[in-house]
Amino acid sequence: MTMKTLRQLTIVTLLCVFCNNNAKTSSDLMSYDLKEILSNLSVQEKIELVTGVGYEYSPKGMTGYTTSIERFGIPHMALLDGPQGIRIDWSKKDFNYSIRPTAFPTATVLASSWDENLVFKVGEGIGKEARHIYADIILGPGINLQRNPLGGRNFEYYSEDPILTGRIGSSMVQGIQSVGVGATLKHFVANNSETNRAALNIIVDEKTLRELYLRGFKIAVQDSQPRAVMTAYNLLNGVHTSQDSKLITQILKKEWGFDGIVMTDWKSGTDPAKQISAGVNLIMPGSSNDRASIKKSLQSGKLRMEQLDRSVKEVLRAALNPLPTLSSYKLSNKENLLKNNRSLARVAAANGMVLLRNKGKKLPLKGNISEIAFFGNGSYHSLISGLGSGRVCSTYRVNIIEGASNFSYGQSKLLEEIMRNYLPKSNPHSVCDYGGGFGQDPELIDERNFSEKEIGLIERQSDAAIITLRRLPGEGKDLSEEDHFEVSQTERSLVRSVSEIYRNKKKPVIVILNVPAPIETESWADFVDAILVSWLGGQEMGNAVFDILTGKQNPSGHLTASWPKKYSELQSAHGFPGIVTSEKLIPIFAGGDMAKPTKIEYLEQDAVGYRDILQSQKSVAYPFGFGLHYTEFELSNMNVKQRPHNVEVSMTITNTGEVSGADVIQVYSVNSDKDDVKYRELKGFRKTDILSPKQSADVTVTIPYRELEIFDNDNGCGWMLEQGSYQFFAAHSSQHIMSSQIIELKGDHSCEKNG
């Protein structure tokens, strides 16, 4: 075939992927073309296709860019961070995209809504913004588990539970991809802490790895066909994840059937040839060193041409084969899109906030409250996201005090003046001040000490007190027990003094937790009337807080991680965030920096989060799955049925309270025949529609057998459904069971299934 005809055929192919009824299907054409293109590419071109163009050549604002080869019509692919929205720093002078991105609520907030439809819509909203600037692939969602409350990137992840993570992650991928933009599951796998992340070896046994850490990825790969998967910085059982062929080729590609692109995390791994031979398709962000190293490895025979070709093929397939949804979504008017996304960010934030305490039903705020005293720096400088690559540079943020004034609440003038003088003078609306957000937040200062006299004067000017406690997480470092999990002396005495003074006057005290993950509540919760977790709630957070506080919206978020009483009680606290294994430095990037190697052994195996708490019967501050509403729900008619491919758990839910609201139904199960499994695990869930008072709804939670399977490592059976009597629990949290039923499941002892 001549170059000219090849180019024509490529162009025909590019056109044909947009049409539906060709005599030859696009995949026929693609496979034919790919071979042809491959055989005509030079070695240098192949090497360029599997390495990104590098920071210096990426268009400003894009996170990564792949190589184009014009003579074959192979286009660039533009990659853009996620997962909270699109990360483009529009404040840079030479940035010329027109869109000003929406900072949606962080991942934990979305998952806390337990609402797959809502998460789909947020994904769609993010995808539409990405399409406006012609990005091809979003670098999100994050599918790692919140193994430990101090994990630095917990805010970018969904939950401590893999099934919830996999299902919410699938909805996000489906939403993003519904408008033709690809999604990337990251970070594959076991990026559950950040300290020394590129030299950190995670040691975990196969069964735990499969049943917990890989399970969410497996669900999302199988249910949503993401365009890409990104490997992690850490090593897994001694091997860099990007150089691990068992992980990438055997498990992800062969067992799960993943057929998209596997890319490395930015500058991760130490050996490009090993990455390509392990099954990586794209080394990101790519550098001339990477290219030289691949070339050398080809010459020395360390890397074979067919291994390189295999990687090139996947990149070509993605670059030449847009998602089918690309042609059906037409760019909408930008102003409308941003307006819709603003409302969506608010709805999503309100749906994910979790009401932990409402003593004496002080919430929603009653009509006699018009002036509020806002304590805590976070009321004025509210945190809407964490630092790092996930931080979205939005044009504004609604702080909690602004939410209050949008609802016409006044504030104590004295307190306002004190805080104005105390807080740094940075622009409270800008979230782009810190170079995309990898550094420290200049607004982050300690809480002010208030004297009882001051609080007394402030109390006279207000009908209620709101105290916001905040914690800022970020990529590249973990939180600490002392500074983040624990409540500081100043914070505790602020909560105690404000509570005493206000409650003496029968005025409510509400704590807002503007935090990414659980903190200690045991020592102070009883002082206050109500606790609302606003999380890092995105740019509309202040409005959403008042949607909940005023009762405009009934809270319906439930926790996606357990809130322990004491950090040290957790088994995952052991050895966190890693212990040094040798004083000898090891390379952490190809041709780059060195660090001391560290390791974390996941000795607790599956005893993570509520599994840990249920197994060892620890008491917990707030259990996994917990959340209060302004109404009550009752469950009746629970019925469990075994179907050919799944188990169906049906029930009737009735709103027995006085206001409308949506319930979150969680289904847990345990194989009661097994001596070694003593605790129930989440297997399915469903958020109901909004039910009016006295209204009932029939709800069915469908649980595919896949979610009930265990990974049998001892007999080499792989994934299998064991025969036994399974007890199914319909619940409002891992510890609030409403009804249960036992059924016999036939099981599957073929011992041949895998994947």
Q: Which residues are catalytic, by number? A: 265
Q: How far is the CB of 215 from ligand BGC (least distance, A)?
A: 20
Peptide bond into 122 cis (omega under 30): no
Mark residue 398 as left, alpha or beta (left: phi above 0; alpha: psi -120 to 50; beta: remaining): beta
User: Looking at residue 200, what DSSP letter applies?
Assistant: E
Rule CB under 6 A: is residue 562 a binding residue for ligand BGC?
no
Applying CB under 6 A, among 155, 266, 610, 719 the residue interacting with ligand BGC is: 266
232 vs 532, which CB is nearer to ligand BGC? Answer: 232
**CA 349, CA 657: separation in Å to the nearest integer?**
24
List, in sequence order, every residue forming a beta bridge with 671; answer none if it has no partner. 726
- For the bound state, the minimum distance from the C-beta of residue 728 to ligand BGC, rounded and expressed in Å, comes to 37
Hey, what are 85's tokens? 């929205």
Q: Which is nearer to ligand BGC, 266 or 726 (CB)?
A: 266
**Distance in angstroms (rounded) separating the CA atoms of residues 17 and 319:** 12
Is residue 265 involved in binding ligand BGC (CB under 6 A)?
yes
157 binds ligand BGC (CB under 6 A): no
What's the DSSP call for residue 239? Answer: E
The candidate with the shortest Cα–Cα distance to 611, out of 109, 147, 207, 204, is: 147
Residue 84 binding ligand BGC, by CB under 6 A: no
Q: Are 346 and 338 in contact (CB under 8 A)?
A: no
In angstroms, what is the minimal distance from the CB of 440 to ligand BGC? 17
| Distance of closest approach, residue 406 Cβ to ligand BGC, in angstroms | 33
Pick the closer one to ligand BGC by CB: 234 or 297. Answer: 234
193 binds ligand BGC (CB under 6 A): no
Q: How far is the CB of 223 from ligand BGC (least distance, A)?
A: 22
Residue 78 binds to ligand BGC (criterion: CB under 6 A):
no
Q: Nearest residue by C-beta to ligand BGC?
A: 389
Shortest gap between Cβ of 235 and ligand BGC (angstroms)?
A: 15
Q: Does 63 bind ligand BGC (CB under 6 A)?
A: yes
Q: Considering the complex, what minimum distance in angstroms separates the CB of residue 63 from ligand BGC? A: 5
Choose between 60 and 71: whose C-beta lies nearer to ligand BGC.
Answer: 60
Q: Using the rule CB under 6 A, which residue among 29, 65, 66, 81 binds ligand BGC?
A: 81
One-letter amino acid at 351 equals N
Q: Which is nearer to ligand BGC, 81 or 129 (CB)?
A: 81
Among 76, 132, 147, 186, binds ligand BGC (CB under 6 A): 186
Interatomic CA distance for residues 81 and 130, integer angstroms: 10
Residues in the interface with ligand BGC (CB under 6 A) total: 7
CB-nearer residue toward ligand BGC: 177 or 297: 177
Q: Which residues contact 125 (CB under 8 A, 6 or more apart)?
A: 102, 104, 175, 337, 340, 341, 344, 345
Q: Is 384 exposed, middle or buried (0-12, 13-18, 19+ CB in 10 A)?
A: buried
* 66-71 long-range contacts, CB within 8 A, separation 24+: 66/282, 66/315, 66/319, 67/286, 69/41, 69/45, 71/3, 71/7
**Quick one: tokens of 508?**
């409510």
DSSP alpha helix (H) spans, 188-285: 206-208, 215-224, 245, 272-278
Distance of closest approach, residue 284 Cβ to ligand BGC, in angstroms:
7
Distance in angstroms (rounded) separating the CA atoms of residues 507 and 530: 12
What is the maximum alpha-carbon separation in the chain?
Answer: 88
Using CB under 6 A as the binding rule, the residues of this chain from 658 to 687 that contact ligand BGC are: none
Site for ligand BGC in 387-406 (CB under 6 A): 389
Binding mask 125-154 for ligand BGC (x = CB under 6 A): --------------x---------------
Cβ at position 285, least distance to ligand BGC in Å:
8
CA distance 84 to 156: 8
Residue with tokens 């609604």: 398
Helix (H) or strand (E) holding 410: strand 410-411
Q: Name which of 63 and 113 has its Cβ closer to ligand BGC.
A: 63
Q: Rounded CA gap, 7 and 11, in Å?
A: 6
Binding string to ligand BGC for residues 328 to 367, with x set by CB under 6 A, is what? ----------------------------------------
Q: Which of 435, 613, 392 is nearest to 518 (CA)?
A: 613
Residue 622 CA, chain-centre distance (Å), reads 21
Whether residue 621 contacts residue 522, with contact meaning beta carbons closer than 8 Å, is answered with yes
Which is nearer to ligand BGC, 89 or 601 (by Cβ)?
89
Contact between 255 and 755 under an 8 Å Cβ cutoff? The reply is yes
- Using CB under 6 A as the binding rule, whether residue 443 contacts ligand BGC is answered as no
Residues β-bridged to residue 231: 188
Nearest to ligand BGC of 139, 354 (CB atom): 139
Residues that bind ligand BGC (CB under 6 A): 63, 81, 139, 186, 265-266, 389
